[in-house]
DNA sequence: CTGAAAGCGCTAACAG
DNA sequence: CTGTTAGCGCTTTCAG
């Protein structure tokens, strides 16, 4: 992609002072108020005037000052996105979804992650509150996030279901259903001994629920390991190793996420078991990891971009109507079948 | 980690209006200017006064308005970080490094990625310029970034060497040296036929240079594939497949990055070759991928956190002294030896 | 539809 | 060391 200079409008020949709304008005031969109206796309401006103003804006390379408009309007037209960890790339799609609805409306998004924020020792929302965001998207496990109870800025929780805290707008994936998809896929392939690698946290819990429900619905015996551990690769490795040391006859493993599935793959390799010939493996989240040709991991996709766009719409709605009733939206996930699953050995 | 309410200071019982510097001054029995001085940590304030002001700030839950101070001071105390792609996690360590020096000084950092920014069709720096950042860290390949030539805001290029464009402050890793470490590691293990998976882009080029230099220094014959392709997993796969279909006798592969190395692993697996017994593989970047127990990939670490902190210092320096001579800083990388490398088959 | 006037909350000279 | 005085660039009534 090529970026030409027209939009950057670097240091002009004249003095370095950035043009103000005043300069634009002067050049267009109108008053500052009119420029302000054009900027905000008011319909009450005649076409010739509008064009004159736009021309002046372009010629001057005018760029409205966010600071000034925030101060005057008492709103920043910006929202904050709080995520768990920049290393966990699920937020990228969420952000893309957010932007697809927020960008056209002229909103600014800033992102903070709990891991990095924790270094500073401040409340992770401090930065957002200092910059006076008009709204917040919380895309982190509520238990890890700061208390949201009596926050006076509109917010919506995205991606994770707020299990414990007070009522909030929530846009999330139906993870119980997603886990069901994984189990049903394995059942249809002919597996009868399907183990689940679980862990702590709201998502893991929902996925466990879905696993239990579907396994029982299929008339099978559940087998869960690692329920009280992390959801890291290491935890997946440990849990899977335990699985294949003790319980025999397991032909399929459903991991609470792709990272744990990676750990399971390591354990299988160590035990001399092949994937998918000996043991099928299913992950969750459909990360780039799963898509990788080397891993080629069957996984569940939560459609994070949709979660983002719906969350944006929900937030805009709440900002416009702070007292509207809370809404919770659950989106249906889908299965991405890949090479890590196959029929069990006969 | 527990966040208590003290810093959030949600809607107080009184009216919802946020306290201003004026309220603080009134409560502390001083003038607004004094409060402003305390805020900025001026030494010219008597201790009792300072404490009174601080107490008022705490009691009121006062939080200075960034918009107002930006407007009045004509600087935002914020810098922008431009990265290639949120999916490429190398920026996380850079950001950590940046924050380690910028946070204590009260700076705000906002991050934008070229991929997402491209969706909007705007110049990726537009958002930063609109919010009037005081400085910019460019952590993206210069050819992909918008033109920096006559940008009137101080910036430093981090992580990649600006090969083509004008003079700029640069803080980067010595990738030529890093590639040398990889090759020397393989040579010491006894490898004689060491192939390199390359690709386009400044980093890939530097790594290729380092490879060529070291291979020749060891008296070996260079063997490079994929030089004009991507640096993706798919490209690594294709290049490695070509390698093991045609050229025989290759016992070690040095990929331009970990992702390409992953592609190489897929190709090796397909050819029935084991890692490291038959073929050793070295990546670059020391991503979480490489650390993974399943992949356990020997890789080169660029010490990105140091790049971040040095870049921050460089930027602060340039902001303070815009006409200082340009400086380029190259940091030494190191080798992370793991299980994907071993002596060649005898 | 358009122009004038009054700040938003803070900083940065100054003069006390 | 402290208080006063002007704005920063924009939005928003409110009259023309």
CATH architecture of A1-64: Orthogonal Bundle (1.10)
Distance A83 CA to D4 C1' (A): 46
- For A160-188, b/e burial (b = at least 16 CB within 10 A) is bbbeeeeebbbbbbbbbbbbbbbbebbbe
Give the pair of three-digit tokens for residue B149.
């030539």
Instruction: State yes or no: pLDDT of B332 exceeds 80.
Output: yes
pLDDT value at position B164? 53
pLDDT at B2 over 80: no
Contact between B140 and B165 under an 8 Å Cβ cutoff? The reply is: no
Of A82, A21, A24, A19, residue with least CA distance to A51: A24
Judged against a pLDDT cut of 70, whether residue B232 lies above it is answered with yes
Q: Do B71 and A87 touch (CB under 8 A)?
A: no
- CA→C1' distance for A139 and C16 (Å): 54
Q: Left if phi > 0, otherwise alpha if psi is -120 to 50, otherwise beta: which for B295?
A: alpha
Which of the given ranges, A107-116, A243-252, B135-144, B149-158, has the highest pLDDT on average? A107-116
Strand D positions closer than 7 A to protein CB: 1-5, 7-13
State which residue has its Cα closest to the C1' atom of D6.
B72
For residue B112, what are its two tokens?
Answer: 């934008």
Contact at CB, A8 and B108, closer than 8 angstroms: no
For residues B302 and A6, the model is more confident at B302
Name the average pLDDT for chain B: 88
Q: Return phi, psi of residue B196, to 5°.
A: -125, 130
pLDDT in tens, B239-294: 999 999 876 789 999 999 999 999 999 999 999 999 999 999 999 999 988 999 99
* For residue B24, pLDDT beyond 70: yes
- DSSP for A305-344? HHHHHHHHHHHHHHHH-TTSPP-EEEE--EEE--TT--PP
Q: Distance from residue B50 (CA) to nucleotide D1 (C1'), in Å?
A: 12
Neighboring chain B residues of A146 at a CB cutoff of 8 Å: 3, 8
**Residue A297: strand, helix, or coil:** coil
Q: Give the residue-averaged pLDDT of A232-238.
A: 94
Q: Hey, are the CB atoms on A67 and B66 less than 8 Å from each other?
A: yes
Which of the nucleotides lies closest to B50 (Cα–C1')? D1
Q: For residue A273, name the pLDDT band (cuts at 50, 70, 90).
A: very high
Mean pLDDT of A322-334: 92
Residue with the bigger pLDDT between B180 and A249: it is B180
pLDDT of residue B197: 98
Residue A111 has pLDDT above 90, yes or no: yes
Could you tell me the pLDDT band of residue B17, with boundaries at 50, 70 and 90?
A: low
CB A127 within 7 Å, strand D: no
B224 in Cβ contact with B210 (< 8 Å): no
Identify the CATH class of A175-302.
alpha beta
CATH number of the structural domain A77-174+304-331: 3.40.50.2300
Strand D closer than 7 A to residue A232 Cβ: no
Query: Is residue B15 pLDDT above 80, yes or no?
Result: no
The domain segmentation of chain B, as residue ranges, is 1-64, 77-174+304-331, 175-302
Q: Tell me how close the Cα of B217 comes to any Cα of chain A, in angstroms.
A: 33
Percent pLDDT > 90 in chain A is: 60
Residue A158 pLDDT exceeds 70: yes
The pLDDT, as a whole number, for residue A189 is: 98
Res. B148: pLDDT tops 60? yes
Alpha-carbon separation of residue B40 from A27, B20, B50, B62 (angstroms): 39, 15, 11, 14
Contact B263 A3 (CB under 8 A): no
Flag if B116 and A99 touch (Cβ within 8 Å).
yes
pLDDT at residue A190 tops 70 = yes
- Interchain CB distance below 8 Å, A130 and B91: no
Domains A77-174+304-331 and A175-302 share a fold: yes
pLDDT at A164: 53
Chain B residues whose CB is inside 8 A of the A67 CB are 66-68, 70-71, 76, 131-132
**Chain B residues with beta carbon closer than 8 angstroms to that of A237:** 293
Residues with CB under 7 A from strand C: A 30-34, 37, 44-46, 49, 68, 71-72, 74; B 17-18, 20-22, 32-33, 36, 39-40, 62, 64-65, 68-69, 71-73
The SS3 call for residue A195 is: strand
Check whether B217 has a pLDDT greater than 50. Answer: yes
Q: What is the pLDDT of residues A283-300, one digit of tens each?
A: 999 998 899 999 999 999
Q: Does the pLDDT at position A14 exceed 50?
A: no
- Quickly state the pLDDT bin for B160 (edges 50, 70, 90): confident
């Amino acid at each position: 992609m090529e970026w030409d200079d027209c939009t950057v409008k670097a240091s002009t020949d004249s003095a370095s002072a950035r043009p103000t709304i005043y300069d634009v008005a002067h050049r267009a031969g109108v008053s500052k108020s009119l420029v302000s109206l054009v900027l905000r796309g008011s319909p009450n401006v005649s076409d010739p005037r509008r064009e004159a103003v736009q021309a002046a804006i372009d010629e001057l390379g005018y760029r409205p000052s966010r600071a000034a408009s925030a101060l005057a309007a008492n709103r920043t037209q910006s929202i904050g996105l709080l995520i768990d960890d920049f290393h966990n790339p699920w937020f990228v799609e969420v952000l893309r979804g957010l932007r697809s609805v927020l960008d056209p409306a002229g909103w600014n998004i800033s992102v903070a992650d709990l891991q990095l924020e924790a270094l500073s020792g401040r409340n992770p929302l401090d930065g957002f509150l200092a910059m006076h965001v008009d709204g917040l998207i919380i895309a982190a496990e509520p238990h890890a996030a700061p208390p949201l109870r009596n926050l006076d800025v509109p917010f919506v929780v995205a991606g994770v279901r707020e299990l414990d805290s007070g009522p909030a707008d929530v846009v999330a994936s139906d993870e119980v259903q997603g886990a069901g998809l994984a189990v049903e896929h394995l059942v249809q392939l002919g597996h009868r001994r399907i183990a689940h690698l679980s862990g702590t946290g709201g998502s893991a819990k929902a996925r466990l629920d879905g696993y239990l429900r579907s396994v029982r619905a299929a008339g099978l015996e559940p087998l869960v390991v690692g329920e009280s551990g992390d959801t890291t690769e290491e935890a997946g490795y440990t849990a899977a190793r335990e699985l294949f040391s003790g319980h025999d006859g397991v032909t399929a493993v459903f991991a609470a996420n792709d990272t744990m599935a990676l750990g399971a793959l390591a354990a299988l390799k160590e035990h001399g078991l092949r994937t998918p010939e000996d043991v099928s493996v299913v992950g969750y989240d459909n990360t780039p990891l799963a898509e990788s040709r080397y891993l080629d991991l069957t996984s569940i996709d939560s459609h994070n971009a949709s979660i983002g766009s719906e969350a944006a719409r929900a937030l805009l709605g709440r900002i416009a109507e702070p007292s509207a009733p809370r809404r919770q939206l659950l989106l249906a996930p889908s299965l991405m079948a890949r090479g890590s699953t196959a029929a069990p050995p006969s």
